[in-house]
Amino acid sequence: MPAVAAEESPLKPINTSSPRTTLLGFIEFMNKGYGMGGGLIQSYLDSSRLYLTPEEMVTMRGSFHYQEAAQRVLDLSEVPPAMVNESARRLAIQLKEVLDRIDLPPVNSIPDAEEMAKSEFKRWTLPNSEIRLRRVETGPRAGEYLFSAETVKRLPEFYDKVKDLPYKPDASIGWNDFSSYSPVGVAIALYRIVPSRWLIDAPRYRVRTTFLGQPLWRWGGIVAVLGSGFAVVFLCFRLSRYGARRMISAQQWLTLLRPISVVAVTPVVAFILAEILRVSGIVYQVLILSLWTLFYLAFTWAVWVAGGAVAESLSNMEKLQVGSIDSQLIRLVMRLLTVVVAICILVAGADRVGLPAYSVLAGLGVGGLAVALAAQQTLANLLGSLIIMFEKPFAVGDSIKLKDLEGTVESVGFRSTRIRTLHNSLVTIPSSQLVNSTVDNLERREYRQIKAVLSLTYDTTSGKIEVFVEGIRHLLEAYPSTRKGNIEVVLHNLGQYSLDVLLNFFVKVPDREAELVERQRILLDILRLAETTGVQFAFPTQTLHIESFPEQKAAITALSDAFPKNN
């Protein structure tokens, strides 16, 4: 069977085990990428065809593969993740342009892996330059030799210094200018719609006239893309506002359309600017970092609004009162979840735009500690509200008694509880104070106590009292709502002006209103029983004996004659 030459694997990376293999591999892969892509474009422009063929696009993607593999030998650890793609492409081309213009040392003089293993310093500097390759000590690429982060950072500076020098043989001539000023990204994106030659073969004066390092055609694209994105977001804001006025019940869900529109639009705009228009330099840095910052802020906003909307929906599904403990608990849990998710989003966003995540977390920790120290009472009230919500010693609508205060619970908030008193006044009690007090929940009683003292006149005979007391007992036992076996009706005390009969029993009723109704019925029946048995109720009187004081007696008699009694 004849031997078949093995094709090079498209997944083959550059060997980065030493400065020699890294440098030679970078030059090799960049030459292959330039040869495939540049040769394809030149043959296409030399032909009479309007459009690129599918086979040519496959070749173009192969060129991109070699370029992306070469970009991996750059240490981009100090480049914000949001800018890595464009920065890697631009910096790799600039490094290739620099290497194409300076003298490179003989291959044998570049240290290999064996020589670097013996070397004390795990780095190598290209002779007569400040281009360094350094071994990565930590992370997933530990042990690899890459162009150092400092070198990567200074590549634009190096390119500016050598860009006027002549090219060496077999150089990638004009690659940086072509990548920076021609609309090649637009041509590739629209190759099925617009003939690529119309864009790539534009007159040089049109593509080289620049402002802030960007050709004028690119500024037109930037304005068009940003304007389109703003128009979409503005339309979504208007639709959200219009829908919220029309559908009050879905107001919060419609409000969610605002942050979602920003979340959806910003990555698309950033992709077009970076990959199609290929904006570069300071303009790229400002636009991309601003867009991704806006994206993560809008994402945080969307999560916050969604948490509130979910809480409202759950409360409505369960038909909970607005100020009830369960509804407040649902809102609190959702709010805590959204706070946690929002912090994670902000930390991830800070890392993507180049802010150290640990610094952000440390800042949040210090800020949280400062807030905690400045708002100890507020946090105590919040903790008290959480205890009330989880333990549920009472619910909204319950009648409670707290020291000298009695009333109905109207709402339980994150800071305080509001109670409507029997005088119809509204009392607000901090949750920390409430949770440390003794709360008597009158609503949780299975039976409600009715206690009274019936004052009978002293001229009531003992026989009538016995009949009256026994009649009340039978009357109470006959009521279906009274608690049998715990009825107390006894002659309790010989008072100053009355014979006191103690009346103490319990009734089973659902609420205070029913208790008052039942109390009235029973007391009316007792009054009827008193009329039947001839028992009379006493009222406070006092008798003054003044036989020993004739002068005072004569004065009182005179007053009595002056103001005769009305019959």
Residues 169-199, buried b or exposed e (16+ Cβ, 10 A)? Answer: eebbeebbebbbbbbbbbbbeebeeeebbeb
Q: What was the pLDDT predicted at 254?
A: 81
Q: What was the pLDDT predicted at 325?
A: 61
Read off the pTM: 0.67
223, 362, 554, 559 from 565: Cα distances, Å: 105, 91, 17, 11
In angstroms, the CA 488 to CA 451 distance is 9
Evaluate whether 258 touches 237 at the Cβ level (below 8 Å). yes
Question: How close are the terminal C-alpha atoms of the chain, in Å?
Answer: 143
At 365-408, the pLDDT tens digits run: 666 666 655 556 777 777 777 787 777 788 777 888 888 788 88
In angstroms, the CA 462 to CA 13 distance is 114
In angstroms, the CA 344 to CA 340 distance is 6
Q: What was the pLDDT predicted at 361?
A: 63
Q: Which distant-in-sequence residues (6+ apart) come within 8 Å of 488 by Cβ? A: 502, 503, 504, 505
Q: What was the pLDDT predicted at 514?
A: 86
Q: What was the pLDDT predicted at 347?
A: 84
β 405-412/416-421 pair status: antiparallel
At 423-464, the pLDDT tens digits run: 888 888 888 888 888 888 877 778 888 899 999 998 889 899
The yes-or-no verdict on residue 92 having pLDDT over 90 is: yes
Rounded-to-10 torsion of CA 463, 467, 472, 477: 130
At 270-293, the pLDDT tens digits run: 999 988 888 888 888 899 999 999
What is the length of the chain?
Answer: 567
CA torsion sign for 334, 338, 341, 344 is negative
Specify the amino acid at residue 460. Answer: T
State the average pLDDT for the chain. 82
Evaluate whether 316 touches 263 at the Cβ level (below 8 Å). no
At 97-118, the pLDDT tens digits run: 999 999 999 999 999 988 888 8
At 5-48, the pLDDT tens digits run: 345 566 788 999 999 999 999 999 999 988 888 888 888 888 88
